[in-house]
Structure 1
Amino acid sequence: MLKLWTSIIICSLAGNMYAQLDISKLSASGFENIIFAEEEDTIRIFFEHREFRNPGHSIQYAELLMTDRTRDKNFLWIPLLHNVPIYVYDTQNLKSRLLSFAEKEFFQKNNKPFRNYRFNFRLHPQFSARFGYFTDPFETKLNFILGARIYLARGLSMQSGITIPVHNNLDNHGKKLRAAPTMLHYFAQPWNSHFVSLSAGTFYNDRYGLDLEYRFAQLDSNWSFGLAGGLTGYYRLYGLEYYSESMDDIYAIADVEWRTGIENTTLKLSAGQFLYMDRGARIDLIKQYPAAELGLFASHTDIGNTVGFQFAFSLWPGKILRNDKFELRTSESFRWAYSYNGFDPVAKQVRRGTPRLANVLRNYNEKWVKAVLTR
């Protein structure tokens, strides 16, 4: 612990040209909130890179950039998620572990969100489709959302943007420019392996209100457990015209997820009261690929039954424009799902514009990160 606190002084010295050089190189390539903690034989690097879904890819990219790194030192990589350190990955020894108390204290002291993050704008498509209706067999809606997330404090951010309608013969939302879902979002790991997410504001699927998630996820385990709940109401925004109804839709869902160990597949079972007072259960089979995720699902609830598929991946080309203070990029996680029963809202959850904890933390599992790093 004494060594780590000594590193605070080392990293703050203007004469530490090695750290300055690598921070500059990493920052120019999209890395943010880069903090070095250097000891005699170890260098810890805290960082965040918002273009990658998988922290293994961001670590690989960083190591490729740091070709002049000191060979006699071991690098420990500590990726951040929403300005919160998640786990420690040792790429030299292919090991990983929880953060120590001293590492958490060091990050807390050196973390400066307003100085260490860019104004980051994301171009994100919103696509919905329904096939097979007799009078209009291909009903689709496509919007582009130009959104931004600003970090206000550790784990606390504001997300907003503009919705740009492109095509719609699916519903009556029309083609006026309007505000994208806007919310305050708080993410934390108050204790090791315990994660919390709280969102308040307007969401997708015409809902507004509060959404709370808790997840117990030991990143060296094949099992994780989650709870999600919230209170929402209906709202409609058409241009500058706003209409809303009272928040009276309560939902509460529990889930368990098991990493099977077979071909990077995961089984997830969710049950409880979904949106629209819909009670029932859903099962997902998810296959992870280094750059994407593909899943099949089936649901049985009071409203009805359905099966379908979903996928998620980062959109090309990633960076569009970038300098020291500003970045425009495509979405790091475009997720789309298709349900056979497209007319009934079976087993629906609120879509917040921020991925669910299970979908995010699945990528931080040490077995998966190791698999990505060794490919």
Structure 2
Amino acid sequence: MMKNKRNDDKRMRQMLLTALLFLFPWLAGAASYVPLLRQLGMENIREAAGPEGVYLCWEDPVYRGPVRGLAEVLRQLAAQEELTQETHLVILENGWPQLLITVPAGSWTDYREERVTWTEFVNSLELTYDTDEAMRHFSDAKTEHRSAGKVDFVIYPQLQLRNSWMDKIYGASVNIAPAIEMQLWKGASFTGQVIFPIWNNLIGEMDYIRAGILTLRQEVRLPKRWMASLTVGNFTQQRIGADLQLTWRTADDRWLLGARGGLTGASVVQDGHWQVSRWERLSGAVWGRYFEPHYQLELELTAERYIYGDYGARLDCVRHFGETTVGLFAMVSGGEANGGFSFSVPLPRKKRMRRKAVRVRLPEYWGLTYEAQSGNEYAERRLGRRYQTDPVVSRSNRFYNPDFVRKQLLRQ
């Protein structure tokens, strides 16, 4: 009798353990997907598992834009037969979360067994900019394949056109501006750029080798979808100083509000010498943006105090055609009107070499802005001047809007 009772107790324990592992498979220890992400070349990888499902986050230094790398990760994960749980994927940029993608538990099996198409699979995903809750699961997770200290040597082509003279049709300059770009620690990055003139018919510093973007930048992701950044160094428009920026957006990134303030001085090359002045000019802006998902359209309204003290307002209308963007803008500053267009296009290659110590590459995107300007007075008074703190001028760069990402995923 005692022996039978012990056997019954043993069978009961085995049945209970089997039931627990069936209902809560994470108790058995989930399979690790870190090696898979490392094989794809992803960096800053973290992994966690719990009763809510599997959690993975990574930074993508290999694929151009935010979508191609995500599509490849989704396809590779879908091929893992043991993955049947709800999965939460977080894309990082410079160490900070940008986008959360939640894959329902049943979607993995349905796509793996071809019960649904890629389009149906993508439409089952939940995409949101609200990453706070998901990131709490990584608090004790170890970061694998860190990106800190790895260097990109990026060769930027530059083209500048001017039409402000009566004695020539156009002024132009063509430059090559290589830059060293490095992530230092979480949210911190360094950019060091030198501009080499190739050809120009302008006067001034255009004939000289000179500093381009030379900055130290620290970004911070704050709760409730706030993002702040402080950039110190040499900017465009012959400015040197400090720039502070703060943005907030809704979870679906349809609406965005931003504010920026800068304190700068002059940074010019005269007679071959680099000369800088005290940081005395205060500039700033507040803006709001709405993203219309059907036409992939951005509408942005900005009120701004420009570099040289003039005040104005600007309306931008930008449409995304995949990774290519085309925009129109109209503005008024100092009582004078201005307008023009802009565009940016992706540059080869779609997939870059994996970064080990130093990687040489082109920028992901190249952009150009044309200003009509309403007469010579606009140029002489230096109205509507705003600086950039980043060498990449493209609306596609670091664009993680959930509606945009889903639409581009459907095309992969």
Residues 104-143 of structure 1 correspond to what in structure 2 (within 5 A)? 104=136, 106=138, 110-111=142-143, 118-131=150-163, 133-143=165-175
- Higher mean C-alpha deviation, range 102-111 or range 69-78: 102-111
Q: 2:119 aligned with 1:83, yes or no?
A: no
CA distance in 2, matches of 1:358, 1:196: 19
**Deviations 1:233-280, CA, capped at 9 Å, x for gaps:** 111247973211222211121111112345111211101311211101
Gap change, CA 1:72 and 1:217, over 3 Å in 2: same
Aligned residues: percent identity? 20
Check the 8 A contact 1:319/1:327 in 2, yes or no: no
Residue of structure 2 in register with 1:372 after alignment = 408
Equivalent in 115, 125, 128 of residue 94 of structure 1? 125
Q: Deviations over 1:121-157 (max 9, x none)?
A: 2222222111373322121112222112222221011
Change (3 A) 1:86 1:171: same
- Change in Cα spacing, 1:318 to 1:134, as seen in structure 2 (3 Å) is farther
TM-score (norm 1): 0.84
Counterpart AA for 1:230: G
The count of aligned residue pairs is: 360
Rg (Cα) greater in structure: 2
CA distance in 1, matches of 2:139, 2:202: 47
Give TM-score, length-normalised by structure 2.
0.77
Query: What whole-Å deviation, never above 9, does each CA across 1:159-212 have from its counterpart, x for those lacking one?
Result: 113222212223422444333321110112111311112100001111000111
Letter in structure 2 aligned against 1:370: R
Query: Greater strand share, 1 or 2?
Result: 1
Out of 317, 320, 324, which is 2:349 matched to? 317
Matches within 5 A, 1:356-367: 363-367=399-403
What does residue 22 of structure 1 align with? Answer: 36
Q: Secondary structure at the match of 1:276?
A: coil
Aligned to 1:292: 324
Kept in 2, the 8 Å contact 1:298–1:306? The answer is yes
Query: Which residue is 2:112 aligned to?
Result: none
Distance of 2:174 and 2:140 partners within structure 1: 41
Shift of 1:112: 7.1
CA–CA separation in structure 1 for the residues paired with 2:174 and 2:56: 40
Q: Residues 197 and 358 of structure 1: is their aligned pair in 2 closer, same or farther, counting only changes over 3 Å?
A: farther
Change (3 A) 1:105 1:39: closer
Root mean square deviation, CA, Å: 3.2
Gaps in structure 2 of 5+ consecutive residues: 1-25, 108-123
Match of 2:312 among 260, 276, 280: 280
Structure 1 residue runs without a partner (length 5+) = 1-6
Given that 2:177 and 2:195 are in contact with CA atoms closer than 8 Å, whether structure 1 keeps it comes out as yes
Match of 1:351 among 382, 388, 402: 388
Equivalent residue number for residue 214 of structure 1: 246
* AA of the residue aligned to 2:227: F
Q: Secondary structure at the match of 2:35?
A: helix
Amino acid corresponding to residue 180 of structure 1 in structure 2: G
Tell me which of 240, 243, 267 is aligned to 2:299: 267
> What is the letter of the counterpart of residue 127 of structure 2?
S
After superposition, the Cα gap between the structure-2 partners of 1:333 and 1:173, relative to the gap in structure 1 and judged at 3 Å, is same
The Cα shift of 1:338 comes to 0.5
Match of 1:170 in 2: 202
- For 2:178, the aligned partner's letter is L
- When structure 1 is superposed on structure 2, of 63-72 and 79-88 the one drifting more is 63-72
**Which residue is 1:45 aligned to?**
56
